[in-house]
């Protein structure tokens, strides 16, 4: 019996508008990956002291991305986020994080003993949550002791915060700017939106597997100043296994090579086909969510398609799935489709035909609760996570200190983070949500700091 092989076989061959960005298609000739899988040998290389193929591949990727140095990652962007947070901030230092940061940012603060200070999200009437430029600038002024500012760009919806002014003011204050660009590995090859490096970020991490033809878990960390490569590598050795997958590293290099060879042309075609879908949406009773958010002062990734569905995101995603088309995600009102250079014209034809065949019937969708104000912080995240803790039923959690992030999905933004006091509003929001809408809970229990801690 081969249950995982059987599972993956059953899931393959469908319309893929989700990650990984290779969409089930090899960028070059199909090879037996088992035949290529090997380890550190005189004829191969060492990821942490590269001298051979890995070093040459990293230099080629850095040149393509506009970086001084590029480090290959095989633990996704998570390991890169950990490195970026610890690169210029040490034990006890302050870093500024957006509240919609990936949970790996919290874990990076735990591992590095860093003080996390938060930028609040703004929620629009349609439930979309984002970070505003003015709130980032306010946080920089509020925490002048900060060593590093982390930003997320693009977000899941392909929305990009404008960063030029933020980077200028941060650098004037002596604050490093690092960017979680996990969803933007394709940006160096697409017109319309610049990558974080082109905007002046000090470091930025990209998930090759999300929007380029790389295997799942493949990512890259870019440095603007090559002088920090050695320190970044020392931190990285703590964050990843000492036995990297050479096949995964090859997929990073192949992804870059494919994009250099065909990427610009293919992404231009994909953006054009996505534009045709956007024009079609109103005729079918749907809307392009990016068009609805034009007044928010954001930029938009042409290779991310976000469909506002009057019947609700879950209903549309379910109907698409029944027609053999899998979306990346959905929220109460929208479906999000990840596009890449590997999407074919047939994929877009199939999507258009499916949308034409699915009635955009209006339905009552539950209103999203407005997130409460940031909770009171009484402990730093490392203190809360590493100390004694206990599972506490929701009905008894008010007034306790969280030892793990918890919140609602969508939007996937924590209502409470480690070290913060759990308010009555947070308890109410979690109690009123179904188990599939909550994250960070074990059943109906929240992990809290022990009373005797």
The parts of the chain modelled with pLDDT lower than 70 are 364-370, 453
In-domain check, residue 284: no
Q: Is residue 6 part of a domain?
A: no
3-state secondary structure of 163: coil
- Among 258, 283, 299, the domain-final residue is 258
- How many of the other CB atoms lie within 10 Å of CB of 191? 10
Residues 223, 79 within the same domain: yes
Q: If residue 330 lies in a helix (H) or strand (E), which one and from where to where? A: strand 329-330
Considering the domain architecture, whether residues 254 and 385 belong to the same structural domain is answered as no
Can you give the residue range of the structural domain that contains 159? Answer: 33-258
Average pLDDT in the chain: 94
Q: 111 in a domain, yes or no? A: yes
Give the model's pLDDT for residue 368.
65
Determine which helix (DSSP H) or strand (DSSP E) holds 338, and give its type and residue range.
strand 334-338
d(CA 93, CA 78): 20
Where a domain ends, among 258, 282, 314?
258
Pairing of strands 334-338, 304-308: antiparallel
Cα distance between residue 366 and residue 40, in whole Å: 54
Q: Is residue 351 exposed (0-12), middle (13-18) or buried (19+ Cβ within 10 Å)?
A: buried
The DSSP secondary structure of 133-162, one letter per residue, reads: HHHHHHHHHH-TT-SEEEEE-S-TTSEEE-
CATH code, domain carrying 406: 3.90.100.10
Total domains, the chain: 2
CATH number at residue 246: 3.40.640.10
pLDDT on residue 122: 94
Predicted local confidence at residue 369, as pLDDT: 67
Would you state the structure tokens that stand for residue 169, as one six-digit string? 């003011």
| Residue 433 and residue 408 in contact, taking contact as beta carbons nearer than 8 Å | yes
Three-state secondary structure readout of 17-36: ECCCCCCCCCCCCCCCHHHH
Give residue 366's pLDDT. Answer: 64
Looking at the domain assignment, is residue 84 inside a domain? yes
Which pLDDT value is given to residue 436? 79
Query: What pTM was estimated for this model as a whole?
Result: 0.95
| Residue 350 counted as domain residue | no
In a domain, 109, yes or no: yes
Specify if 292 maps to a domain.
Answer: no
355, part of any domain? no
Domain endpoint, select from 213, 241, 258: 258
């Amino acid at each position: 019996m081969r249950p995982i092989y059987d599972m993956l076989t059953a899931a393959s061959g469908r319309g893929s508008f989700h990650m990984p960005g290779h969409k089930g298609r090899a960028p070059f000739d199909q090879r037996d990956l088992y035949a290529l899988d090997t380890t550190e040998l005189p004829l191969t290389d060492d990821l942490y002291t590269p001298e051979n193929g890995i070093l040459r591949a990293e230099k080629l990727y850095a040149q393509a991305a506009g970086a001084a140095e590029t480090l290959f990652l095989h633990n996704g962007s998570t390991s890169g986020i950990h490195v970026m947070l610890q690169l210029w901030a040490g034990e006890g230092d302050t870093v500024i994080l957006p509240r919609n940061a990936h949970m790996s940012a919290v874990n990076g603060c735990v591992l590095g003993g860093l003080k996390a200070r938060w930028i609040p999200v703004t929620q629009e009437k349609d439930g979309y949550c984002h970070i505003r430029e003015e709130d980032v600038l306010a946080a920089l002024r509020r925490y002048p002791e900060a060593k590093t500012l982390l930003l997320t760009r693009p977000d899941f919806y392909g929305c990009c915060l404008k960063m030029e002014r933020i980077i200028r003011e941060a650098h004037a204050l002596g604050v490093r700017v690092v960017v979680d660009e996990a969803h933007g590995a394709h940006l160096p090859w697409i017109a319309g939106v610049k990558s974080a490096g082109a905007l002046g970020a000090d470091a930025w991490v990209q998930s090759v597997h999300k929007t380029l033809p790389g295997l799942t878990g493949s990512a890259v960390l870019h440095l603007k100043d090559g002088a920090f490569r050695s320190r970044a590598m020392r931190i990285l050795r703590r964050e990843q296994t000492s036995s990297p997958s050479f096949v995964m590293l090859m997929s990073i290099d192949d992804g870059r090579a494919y994009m250099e060879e065909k990427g610009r042309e293919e992404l231009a075609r994909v953006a054009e086909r996505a534009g045709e879908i956007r024009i079609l949406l109103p005729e079918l009773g749907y809307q392009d969510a990016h068009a609805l958010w034009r007044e928010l002062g954001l930029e938009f990734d042409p290779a991310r398609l976000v469909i506002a569905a009057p019947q609700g995101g879950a209903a549309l995603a379910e109907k698409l799935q029944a027609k053999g088309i899998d979306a990346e995600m959905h929220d109460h009102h929208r479906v999000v489709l990840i596009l890449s250079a590997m999407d074919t014209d047939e994929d877009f034809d199939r999507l258009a035909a499916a949308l034409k065949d699915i009635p955009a019937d209006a339905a009552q969708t539950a209103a999203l609760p407005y997130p409460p104000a940031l909770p009171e912080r009484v402990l730093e995240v490392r203190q809360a996570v590493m100390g004694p803790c206990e599972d506490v039923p929701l009905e008894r959690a008010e007034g306790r200190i969280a030892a793990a992030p918890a919140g609602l999905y969508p939007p996937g933004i924590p209502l409470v983070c480690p070290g913060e006091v759990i308010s009555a509003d947070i308890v109410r929001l979690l109690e009123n949500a179904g188990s599939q809408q909550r994250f960070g809970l074990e059943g109906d229990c929240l992990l809290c700091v022990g009373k005797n801690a």
